[in-house]
């Protein structure tokens, strides 16, 4: 198990273990520590581990009271029991979504859970648009063609986004930021959220029942959390209702779509374009260099064979500004009571 203890800070009080860290995050956190106004942050004794936190690795929490985790750490009931038995009293997520933490179990064991609820929603919104525009105008293919001296346009035909109907599912912070951009493009925006928001209507979008999103949208983009209600929201039944050639974009959580249904939809032509930044079993793949390995996930591999599929490896959050915001908020969450998830 690889671990990197290069950033230990000596003679400090609260011991904090970061899991699943990459160099760029370690740098962002060390910069945030240097910038922190409060003395409390500077008192943290921090160690960065590269390995993920899960039931197999949980014993590496020994000696720490706070663990800082990311999207693919697996904080199941078993992990939580080990954390509790070894003195951990706070799980700090350095991300917004918390579907990878068994919240009930954490509460049962009196472990606090905090997260970074908002760090530049525009960052993820802009990546969502990058997927839409790339899939549509095929700039990724044009880039390669031109470098090889191939200036033909066959196969690069796109459509004009202006006046197209786009369905936005989930109109929280990121959904709203996406709507603002789409309105700027001149799109007709339909949206669905169990908790409608006036601000979204003022932007010019219209709340409609989910059935109308499926039936009328040329593009459907998902911005809701993964929970029991939203699991496999895009499935065989919802696909039947969609327009032929629909563009589907998911930058939220992999479990929102049923990938077997998606593959059938791509094969039949029902789905004309697919843009993913998240994948249901991404924890086995994303954030790692597997370029010399045989990837065993046949569903993922099949998805990558379609010419109209664009997958990025959970990089929607990945800008300098967002990393800095995540780092400073996470540190503040550790030293204060802010952004706790309540029972």
- Which residues are annotated as catalytic? 253, 282, 314
Contact between 217 and 167 under an 8 Å Cβ cutoff? The reply is yes
Contact between 65 and 87 under an 8 Å Cβ cutoff? The reply is yes
Q: Which among 38-46, 154-162, 281-289, 309-317 is the span making contact with ligand NAI, rule CB under 6 A?
A: 309-317
**Binding status of residue 253 toward ligand NAI by CB under 6 A:** yes
- Give residues with Cβ within 8 angstroms of 316, minimum separation 6: 123, 124, 127, 128, 251, 277, 278
Q: Judged by CB, which is closer to ligand NAI: 17, or 226?
A: 226
Q: Judged by CB, which is closer to ligand NAI: 51, or 225?
A: 225
**Binding status of residue 251 toward ligand NAI by CB under 6 A:** yes
Q: Judged by CB, which is closer to ligand NAI: 218, or 224?
A: 224
Q: Judged by CB, which is closer to ligand NAI: 58, or 69?
A: 69
**Binding status of residue 254 toward ligand NAI by CB under 6 A:** no
The phi-psi region of residue 233 (left if phi > 0; otherwise alpha if psi is between -120 and 50; otherwise beta) is alpha
Closest CA to 33 of 24, 42, 23: 42
The secondary structure of residue 282, as a DSSP letter, is G
Kindly tell me which residue out of 149, 194, 307, 343 binds ligand NAI, with binding defined by CB under 6 A: 194
C-alpha distance from residue 201 to each of 51, 165, 173, 213, 222 (Å): 44, 15, 14, 16, 18
202 phi, psi to nearest 5 deg: -65, -25
**Binding status of residue 130 toward ligand NAI by CB under 6 A:** no
Q: Which among 40-48, 75-83, 167-175, 297-305 is the span making contact with ligand NAI, rule CB under 6 A?
A: 167-175
Q: Which residues bind ligand NAI (CB under 6 A)?
A: 96-97, 121, 124, 169-175, 192-195, 223-226, 229-230, 251-253, 277-278, 314, 316-317
């Amino acid at each position: 198990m690889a671990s990197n203890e290069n950033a230990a800070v000596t003679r400090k009080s609260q011991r904090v273990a970061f899991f699943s860290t990459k160099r760029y995050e370690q740098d962002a956190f060390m910069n945030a520590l240097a910038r922190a106004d409060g003395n409390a942050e500077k008192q943290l004794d921090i160690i960065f581990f590269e390995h993920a936190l899960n039931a197999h690795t949980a014993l590496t929490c020994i000696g720490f009271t706070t663990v800082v985790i990311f999207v693919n750490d697996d904080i199941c009931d078993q992990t939580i029991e080990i954390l509790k038995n070894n003195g951990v009293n706070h799980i700090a997520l350095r991300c917004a979504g918390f579907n990878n933490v068994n919240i009930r179990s954490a509460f049962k064991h009196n472990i606090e859970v905090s997260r970074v609820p908002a760090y530049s929603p525009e960052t993820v919104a802009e990546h969502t648009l990058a997927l839409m525009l790339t899939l549509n105008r095929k700039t990724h293919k044009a880039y390669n063609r031109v470098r090889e001296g191939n200036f033909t346009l066959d196969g690069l035909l796109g459509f004009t986004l202006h006046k197209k109907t786009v369905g936005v599912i989930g109109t929280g912070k990121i959904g709203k930021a996406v709507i603002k951009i789409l309105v700027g493009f001149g799109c007709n925006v339909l949206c669905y959220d169990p908790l409608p928001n006036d601000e979204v209507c003022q932007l010019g979008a219209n709340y409609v029942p989910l059935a109308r999103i499926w039936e009328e949208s040329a593009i459907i983009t998902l911005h809701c959390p993964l929970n029991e209600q939203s699991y496999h929201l895009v499935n065989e039944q919802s696909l039947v209702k969609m327009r032929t050639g629909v563009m589907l974009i998911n930058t939220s959580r992999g479990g929102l779509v049923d990938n077997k249904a998606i593959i059938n939809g791509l094969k039949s032509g029902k789905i004309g374009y697919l843009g993913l930044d998240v994948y249901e079993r991404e924890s086995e793949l994303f954030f790692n260099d597997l370029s010399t390995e045989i990837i065993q996930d046949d569903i993922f591999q099949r998805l990558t064979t379609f010419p109209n599929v664009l997958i990025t490896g959970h990089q929607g959050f990945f800008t300098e500004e967002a990393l800095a915001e995540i780092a400073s908020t996470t540190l503040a969450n550790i030293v204060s009571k802010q952004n706790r998830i309540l029972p």
